[in-house]
Chains A and B, each alone.
Chain A
Amino acid sequence: MKLENRRWTDEEFGQAFREVMSLYPTGREVDLDEAVEYLRALPPEKSVPAAFDRAKRDGLLLLNPRGGVATLEAMTQLLLCLQNEGGADILPVEPDSYSRRNMFQEAAAGLEESQRQGRSMLNGFPLPIHGVATCRRLTESVQRPLVCRSAAPRTQFVNTIAFVSGITEAIGSATGLALCMEYGLDLAQAIQDQQYTARLVGWFQERGVALGLDVNNTVAAGTIAEPSLSIAYGVIDSLIAAEQGARYQSISYQPNHHFVQDLAGMRAQMKLAQHYFTKFGYDWSGLSQAVHQWNGPFPRDPARAYAIIVLSTAIAYLGKARRIMVKSCEEGLGVPTPQANAAGVRATRQVVDMLRGQEFPESPQLREEQAIIETEGRLLIDKVLEVGDGDIAVGAVRAHEAGLIEFPFSINKANKGQMLLARDATGAVRFLDPGHLPFPKEIRQFHQEKLRERQRSEGLEPLEMLVRDLREVRAPFPEAKTRRLV
């Protein structure tokens, strides 16, 4: 099929559905018409879209931890812990890496080995191996809505099983996941794979079943991201999903933990998303914004890890995000325990409760920062549309080939890799080298000047600044390094 940003026909979707479901025997259990009845009968408290509607109405920030283990028993315990001990608003079902990548034989072996050894040998819950009936037993054992956190590019099978099993949201990001996770995956192929999941969501929507799509475009392979990049990838990926009929979408903003820049970036992201949805005639009323607690390297010290969680939460709340992806104080030590994840949710809730009713004050700095970010975001998105002759999907492929848009520190060979970022003296993220991004001289100079200020104060070479920024959420001031006790 030729890549185009147009809604798939029923024939095209039907054929793709049959091909996807033939990948593994549990696919034969999937009956979409039966699933419509099953999902219609779910109580509203199990619906992610309903949770977002309520959050928007009441000004809430939904707390969404992570987690996944191999067996039904252990996974049920994990979810009950996050629900009862953590007080999470949305519960995660993270599939293991094999299930995300359609490596079903390996996932099946891992599940068997986990059952034999009595501990999880997989880094997630293998929904495709368990099949619909078992997955429904899992979702029916909790009282919160669930999201399938399939953060990988080729996830049609696992997402289908998830929806049919009563999980009312899945991750889907046309370009972001391929750019973040895969070296060799062709961008056009990746977009089409994600069009499937978005079309599946649209198909249910047309039958009165609201499902959510987490446009998980956190433009970070564990790194910093200039806000206009969060915005551009969020808008591109959500427009592609909207064309397939996905109405409830959660767009991610990647915070750099700089109050002014992040709050300006979050506002600009929603403003531009609404602008482009309106331009193409899509309904933006189902859009909401998510913030991920720091996605980069965490300190091993739990006290320092908690500090990061708190700051992420303050930014998400004051920026009026509707969901925060919660981490734990054990993030720097390895895969966290259920109890540590539940503790992360409680720490996050504490910050939210303390900030209730507060607004970040307007200021000239905030307005100036937002104006720059918005200008950059428009330039990026308009350029993608221009080189795609108005087709955002085609444009995304062509713009990456030419380096006109770049995913920060992407592993994918489709990414040009000329662009570099670094923090300035205040911690805001700037373009160390904008590569071929379509920015005029004034914008390039603005970023250079900001970075020169840091160079002067820290006495570092540009690439040394970058290396420090990649290794820690914010490296200590160089002179202070010798005085640190740890």
Chain B
Amino acid sequence: MGQPQITIITGVLRDIHHLGIKVVGYALQEAGFRPVFIGARLEQEEFIQAAIETDAKAIFMSSSNGHAELDAVDMREKCTEVGLGNILLYLGGNLVIAAQEQDWTSIEGRFKEMGYDRVYPPGVSPAQVIQDLKADLAQRYGISEVARDER
């Protein structure tokens, strides 16, 4: 083993739909990261606690019941309060009610304003997420290399 693996916390925020985040977790593992899936029907605090315990560099939250505009607020502020101000926050899923009647850039903008670094709709390519993560890790933490996949 070369450099230590980079831990990413993944889970479902106050919801049960977990297929998307499971696929992303698999892609993270393939790409050499250490994804830690912490479950479903979770509160924001549980993600933050897990990130502290594992020294994670990013939190990936999934929400597909349309309640993210209620459930995902204040996450960035809560992270900052406990000293995780720099942590990467990714959010994905069916985030709002009646998404089909709304413009994606407007949805994305709302969540970016809340402090999320990346926001994804259902069906995003896992490869895109990995590419974004590598770019963000380099920019925020100066991490340019991820441990090789040994499988």
Cβ of A223: which chain B residues have Cβ within 8 Å of it? Answer: 19
Which B-chain residue is minimally distant from A468 (CB atoms)? B123
- Whether a CB of chain B sits under 8 angstroms from the CB of A184 is yes
Cβ of B50: which chain A residues have Cβ within 8 Å of it? Answer: none
Cβ of A183: which chain B residues have Cβ within 8 Å of it? Answer: 16, 39-41
* 8 Å CB contact of A471 from B16, B26, B30, B123: B123
CB contact list, A181-240 vs B, under 8 A: 183-184, 221-223
Cβ of A417: which chain B residues have Cβ within 8 Å of it? Answer: 22, 25, 37
Cβ of A461: which chain B residues have Cβ within 8 Å of it? Answer: 125, 127
**Contact, CB under 8 Å: A467 / B39:** no
**Contact, CB under 8 Å: B125 / A464:** yes
**Contact, CB under 8 Å: B125 / A467:** yes
Number of B residues contacting the other chain (C-beta, 8 Å)? 19
Measured between C-beta atoms, what is the minimum distance from B23 to chain A in Å?
6
| B19, B40, B123, B127 pick with most chain A CB within 10 angstroms | B19
**Contact, CB under 8 Å: B126 / A221:** no
For chain A, the bracket of interface size reads 10 to 19
Not counting A463-B125, A463-B126, A464-B125, a sample of 13 additional A-B residue pairs whose C-beta atoms are within 8 angstroms of each other reads A183-B39, A221-B18, A223-B19, A409-B19, A411-B16, A411-B18, A417-B25, A417-B37, A433-B26, A463-B23, A464-B127, A466-B23, A470-B23
In Å, the complex CA distance between A183 and B14 comes to: 12
**Contact, CB under 8 Å: A471 / B122:** yes
Cβ of B125: which chain A residues have Cβ within 8 Å of it? Answer: 461, 463-464, 467
Given the contacts A183-B41, A184-B39, A463-B27, A409 and B123 also touching, CB distance less than 8 Å: no
**Contact, CB under 8 Å: A470 / B19:** yes
Which A-chain residue is minimally distant from B11 (CB atoms)? A183
Which B-chain residue is minimally distant from A222 (CB atoms)? B19
In Å, the complex CA distance between A466 and B125 comes to: 10
* B residues adjacent to A (C-beta < 8 A): 16, 18-20, 22-23, 25-27, 30, 37, 39-41, 122-123, 125-127
- Whether a CB of chain B sits under 8 angstroms from the CB of A420 is yes
**Contact, CB under 8 Å: B19 / A221:** yes
**Contact, CB under 8 Å: B39 / A413:** yes
A-B contact pairs, 30 of them (CB 8 A): A183-B16, A183-B39, A183-B41, A184-B39, A221-B19, A222-B19, A223-B19, A409-B22, A411-B16, A411-B40, A417-B22, A417-B25, A433-B26, A461-B125, A461-B127, A463-B23, A463-B27, A463-B30, A463-B125, A463-B126, A464-B125, A464-B126, A464-B127, A466-B23, A467-B23, A467-B123, A467-B126, A470-B20, A470-B23, A471-B122
Q: Mark A383-417, 1 if CB is under 8 A from B, else 0.
A: 00000000000000000000000000101010001
Q: Label chain A's interface by main secondary structure.
A: loop
In Å, the complex CA distance between A183 and B22 comes to: 13
Measured between C-beta atoms, what is the minimum distance from A436 to chain B in Å?
12
Which B-chain residue is minimally distant from A411 (CB atoms)? B18
Measured between C-beta atoms, what is the minimum distance from B151 to chain A in Å?
9
Cβ of A222: which chain B residues have Cβ within 8 Å of it? Answer: 19
Cβ of B122: which chain A residues have Cβ within 8 Å of it? Answer: 471
Measured between C-beta atoms, what is the minimum distance from B66 to chain A in Å?
12
In Å, the complex CA distance between A222 and B64 comes to: 14
Cβ of B30: which chain A residues have Cβ within 8 Å of it? Answer: 463
Measured between C-beta atoms, what is the minimum distance from B31 to chain A in Å?
10
Q: Mark A455-486, 1 if CB is under 8 A from B, else 0.
A: 00000010110110011000000000000000
In Å, the complex CA distance between A276 and B29 comes to: 37
Measured between C-beta atoms, what is the minimum distance from B51 to chain A in Å?
19
Cβ of B26: which chain A residues have Cβ within 8 Å of it? Answer: 420, 433, 463
In Å, the complex CA distance between A23 and B37 comes to: 34
Which B-chain residue is minimally distant from A419 (CB atoms)? B26
Measured between C-beta atoms, what is the minimum distance from B44 to chain A in Å?
17
Measured between C-beta atoms, what is the minimum distance from A154 to chain B in Å?
16
Cβ of A221: which chain B residues have Cβ within 8 Å of it? Answer: 18-19
Which B-chain residue is minimally distant from A466 (CB atoms)? B23
Which A-chain residue is minimally distant from B16 (CB atoms)? A411
Measured between C-beta atoms, what is the minimum distance from A205 to chain B in Å?
35
Measured between C-beta atoms, what is the minimum distance from A375 to chain B in Å?
25
In Å, the complex CA distance between A471 and B127 comes to: 17
In Å, the complex CA distance between A409 and B30 comes to: 17
Closest 6 CB pairs of A and B: A463-B126, A183-B40, A183-B39, A411-B18, A470-B19, A409-B19
Measured between C-beta atoms, what is the minimum distance from B138 to chain A in Å?
22
| A221, A223, A467, A470 pick with most chain B CB within 10 angstroms | A467
